[in-house]
Structure 1
Amino acid sequence: MDTRWRRRPRRLDPQVADALVALGLFVLLVLSFGVTVRAGQRPVDAGAWVLGVLLTAPYAVHRRAPWLALTVTLCALVAFSLMHYAPYPGVSAFALLFGLALHGRRRDSLLALGATVGAFCLALAVQPAGVVAPSDVISTLLATAVAWLAGDNLRQRRLRWAAIEERARLLEREREDRDRAAVTAERLRIARELHDVVAHSMSVIAVQAGVGSHVIATDPTAARAALGVIESTSRGALTEMRRMLGVLRQDGETAMHPMPGLADIPRLVAETRRTGLGVTVSSTGDGAHLPAGLDLAAYRVVQEALTNVLKHGGPVAHVHIARTESEVELEVLDEGSPRRPRHGDVPVSDVGLAPGAGQGLVGMRERVELYGGSFEAGPRPGGGFRVHATLPYAVQTP
């Protein structure tokens, strides 16, 4: 992740910075104590030094106590003028107004602006005759306005930058959330594909291995046929696995073949029948050409349903596929006999298949719901099990 929004250069502590500014203002005021004294003005004495401290020190606390700082500074400004000291301490008031506009709320800074203008007008009005010219009044008022505008403008800039940085952080978090969601979705998709391929193939292999082991001494022909089914099923599973790994790598090294779809149902049924499970297939309607993803989802639903029948269901499975212009409907039924599909004379219940963990139904439901369809699975009233899914063409998730 880009850490430019997290790692910032260390800044000077605001309280230390304000104290340094206050010290600098005091130094500037002290340097102005050497100006020429005009008629009616008095030279600098101890009172001027005290008022100088009161004029500049409040800047150090203007963030924590803005109104106290403003009150002390303006009162000292007026007192400095009433005492007719020669230096003009306007810079301290300008700096304080700038700080209040920069660090405070606009409403408060506007009130501070009005108070500062009033204090300057009073301070200029009490000066001895001949000391203040009209240009001094205008320049003072203009400087006051500039100080407030500069502070307020910089505050607005900081707010905008803060908003931009916050938006950037939000966008970064949203991007990370989308990436995590995409990774999770891809993992689920891969898990479904692996389950559908491996579970079906391993179920067939387990059944045929049990059959072969049972009849190898008494019926070598049946055992040879079981080994043939194991060989073809394992080869098919390996091909599917290589195909999936090729899609994940996308390096062109693995031969790519079209993913299976409803057109491959006859091949799936033929492979399933070789295990000894009876399968009937009926299909109605032609409908529109199915999108590749939806076609694969429909195939996997039928494949997993037949796998469940092979492991847990009756001797015969009935597959019905109905296609219209807007949806495809899938239904897989079994007759509910206690696992009696046979290869020769050997019942499947004798080959030691462990009950599934129910992941197949979860995978089927996720696939169907991914395309906005409906899914139902459960026991039939008269015995057996029913899997029913409807996949619409129009509602799809990329």
Structure 2
Amino acid sequence: MTSSAQMAIQGREVDGGVRRADRRWSSLLADAVLAFVLLVFGYFGTRGAAENFPDAAPIGTPTYVLVAVAALALVVRRRWPLVTLALSTVAVTAYLVAGYPYGPILVSFFVAVYTVARHLPIRRAVLGCAPALALLLVHVFVSLREPVGFPGLLPGAAWVVVPFAVGATVRNNREAAARDRIEQARRLADDERLRIAQEVHDVVGHGLAAINMQAEIALHLLAKRPEQAETALTAISRTSREALDELRVTLSVVRRDAAVDRAPVPGLDQVAALTARLRQTGLTVTLEVTGERRPLPVAVDLAAYRVVQESLTNVLRHAGTAAATVRIGYLPADVTVEVVDTGHGGSGPAGPGDGHGLTGMRERIDALGGTLEVGPRPGGGFRVFARLPAEARG
């Protein structure tokens, strides 16, 4: 591994560590604020509760110490949730056994139970909350004041069951959302890989078909007219260079390499150059354009170009010395592309939906809301016809 690559990896690790540290400090600060709010609320709320429960034990310094312990334990609730729950449970249990009035200290306990259910795996959360529930219910039967007895079991258990259910639900929902995001990212990655595979197939398939035709011409002429073979070899060199350039542009999207200059995305404006290159291979290609040329959406422009490219590549592969005609029609709301050849019946592609080329072609057109017709012509030869929605860009 090069030193620059090692430095880049180390830089990413440092950045990731800094971001994690920032998140930890942010969480700690938020929990400290929450603990302070509950501390203040507990101080004043407990005084108010004492007025509403005259039969409860009189409050004093020990009361406020227990309220403070339950509230301040929340400062580390996300870092050590079980420690927070243990401190809160001991404080609340002592508070209730002492006979102090029901008050805001239970809110701190509620948050502690919620935190355990929210941030720990369900098994650990249950093992942590079960002893807390048992300890909390001690005050139902043991109290310095008159015990509540069995009627207090259900209300007491609710202070554990309810926050636990809320925390577990939030955890499950967030995990499900995270799984959905991962699955969506995987689908997007798969779609991108499929798109790149189609682009590579179109570029490489067309280039190799043209090079193969030119190489056969060069071999045929080499023995009889070597001076003319040079023209075919020059065409091979130019075609291979152009195919490599287009392939490099396509792969640069995958690499996200900013150092690679990206050529313009192919479109219908380049069909003339495409047909000119194919004429140099010996294929007779005629281009006909009707309607007023206008800018097209990039996806539509590229799909239309690929239909022409793939169709002419199939003519090179399957139709031998047949002539081909490319017709491009600019309609008010659509653009049409038609490629026909004069081969023998089924001498074009194998048929609708057969082969990676036609499959990719059909997927492109379907994704854009267009239509594709592929099949033999009644009078002989093969026909590919595509219609795409093509509103001009504003």
1:254 is paired with a residue of what secondary structure?
coil
Q: Match of 2:269, as an amino acid?
A: A
Tell me: CA distance 1:309–1:5, structure 2 relative to 1, closer, same or farther (3 Å).
farther
Aligned residue in 1 for 2:9: none
One of 155, 158, 172 as aligned partner of 1:166? 172
Q: Which moved more, 1:256-265 or 1:286-295?
A: 286-295
Larger Rg: 1
Could you give the per-residue CA deviations for residues 187-232 of structure 1, whole angstroms, max 9, x where no partner exists? 1110111011000000111122222223321221332222112101
Higher helix share: 2
Aligned residue in 1 for 2:331: 324
In the alignment, the residues of structure 2 paired with residue 258 and residue 6 of structure 1 have an alpha-carbon distance, to the nearest angstrom, of 52
In the alignment, the residues of structure 2 paired with residue 17 and residue 259 of structure 1 have an alpha-carbon distance, to the nearest angstrom, of 65
2:388 is paired with a residue of what secondary structure?
strand
Task: Show structure 1 runs of 5+ residues with no match.
Answer: 33-86, 103-150, 341-356
In the alignment, the residues of structure 2 paired with residue 17 and residue 196 of structure 1 have an alpha-carbon distance, to the nearest angstrom, of 66
Q: Match of 1:275, as an amino acid?
A: T
What is the CA distance between 1:371 and its match in structure 2?
A: 1.0
What is the CA distance between 1:234 and its match in structure 2?
A: 0.5
Aligned residue in 1 for 2:253: 247
- Number of residue pairs matched? 270
Q: Which moved more, 1:285-294 or 1:330-339?
A: 330-339
TM-score by length of structure 1 reads 0.60
Tell me: CA distance 1:164–1:332, structure 2 relative to 1, closer, same or farther (3 Å).
same
Matches for 1:290-305 after TM superposition, within 5 Å = 290-305=296-311
What is the CA distance between 1:332 and its match in structure 2?
A: 0.4
Aligned residue in 1 for 2:389: 392
What is the CA distance between 1:320 and its match in structure 2?
A: 0.6
Q: Is the 1:277–1:310 contact (alpha carbons within 8 Å) kept by the matching residues of 2?
A: yes
2:286 is paired with a residue of what secondary structure?
strand
Q: Match of 2:364, as an amino acid?
A: R
Q: Match of 1:323, as an amino acid?
A: Y
Q: Match of 1:193, as an amino acid?
A: E
Q: Is the 2:265–2:302 contact (alpha carbons within 8 Å) kept by the matching residues of 1?
A: yes
One of 110, 124, 127 as aligned partner of 1:10? 124
Tell me: CA distance 1:229–1:6, structure 2 relative to 1, closer, same or farther (3 Å).
farther
TM-score by length of structure 2 reads 0.61
Q: Match of 2:124, as an amino acid?
A: R
Aligned residue in 2 for 1:63: none
In the alignment, the residues of structure 1 paired with residue 263 and residue 230 of structure 2 have an alpha-carbon distance, to the nearest angstrom, of 30
What is the CA distance between 1:21 and its match in structure 2?
A: 5.9
Aligned residue in 2 for 1:180: 186
In the alignment, the residues of structure 1 paired with residue 249 and residue 383 of structure 2 have an alpha-carbon distance, to the nearest angstrom, of 31
What is the CA distance between 1:178 and its match in structure 2?
A: 1.4
Q: Which moved more, 1:219-228 or 1:387-396?
A: 387-396
Aligned residue in 2 for 1:270: 276
Task: Show structure 2 runs of 5+ residues with no match.
Answer: 1-19, 21-117, 348-353
Q: Match of 2:150, as an amino acid?
A: A
Q: Is the 1:372–1:395 contact (alpha carbons within 8 Å) kept by the matching residues of 2?
A: no
Aligned residue in 2 for 1:91: 148
Could you give the per-residue CA deviations for residues 29-64 of structure 1, whole angstroms, max 9, x where no partner exists? 7xx7xxxxxxxxxxxxxxxxxxxxxxxxxxxxxxxx
In the alignment, the residues of structure 2 paired with residue 170 and residue 5 of structure 1 have an alpha-carbon distance, to the nearest angstrom, of 14
Aligned residue in 2 for 1:234: 240
1:362 is paired with a residue of what secondary structure?
helix
Q: Which moved more, 1:252-261 or 1:297-306?
A: 252-261
What is the CA distance between 1:157 and its match in structure 2?
A: 4.1
One of 363, 366, 371 as aligned partner of 2:368? 371
Tell me: CA distance 1:301–1:393, structure 2 relative to 1, closer, same or farther (3 Å).
same
In the alignment, the residues of structure 1 paired with residue 139 and residue 346 of structure 2 have an alpha-carbon distance, to the nearest angstrom, of 94
Could you give the per-residue CA deviations for residues 261-317 of structure 1, whole angstroms, max 9, x where no partner exists? 111111000001111111111110015410122111111110110000111125101
In the alignment, the residues of structure 2 paired with residue 295 and residue 288 of structure 1 have an alpha-carbon distance, to the nearest angstrom, of 11
What is the CA distance between 1:376 and its match in structure 2?
A: 1.3
Tell me: CA distance 1:25–1:395, structure 2 relative to 1, closer, same or farther (3 Å).
farther
1:91 is paired with a residue of what secondary structure?
coil
What is the CA distance between 1:166 and its match in structure 2?
A: 2.9
Q: Match of 1:335, as an amino acid?
A: T
In the alignment, the residues of structure 1 paired with residue 134 and residue 170 of structure 2 have an alpha-carbon distance, to the nearest angstrom, of 30
Matches for 1:72-111 after TM superposition, within 5 Å = 88=146, 90-99=147-156, 102=158
What is the CA distance between 1:22 and its match in structure 2?
A: 6.6
1:255 is paired with a residue of what secondary structure?
coil
In the alignment, the residues of structure 1 paired with residue 298 and residue 198 of structure 2 have an alpha-carbon distance, to the nearest angstrom, of 16
In the alignment, the residues of structure 2 paired with residue 170 and residue 286 of structure 1 have an alpha-carbon distance, to the nearest angstrom, of 51
Q: Is the 2:371–2:388 contact (alpha carbons within 8 Å) kept by the matching residues of 1?
A: yes
Q: Match of 2:297, as an amino acid?
A: P
In the alignment, the residues of structure 2 paired with residue 178 and residue 233 of structure 1 have an alpha-carbon distance, to the nearest angstrom, of 39
Q: Is the 2:369–2:388 contact (alpha carbons within 8 Å) kept by the matching residues of 1?
A: yes
1:282 is paired with a residue of what secondary structure?
strand
One of 205, 219, 229 as aligned partner of 1:213? 219
Aligned residue in 1 for 2:343: 336
Considering only aligned residues, what root-mean-square deviation do their CA atoms show, in Å? 3.2
Q: Is the 2:370–2:386 contact (alpha carbons within 8 Å) kept by the matching residues of 1?
A: yes
Tell me: CA distance 1:267–1:277, structure 2 relative to 1, closer, same or farther (3 Å).
same
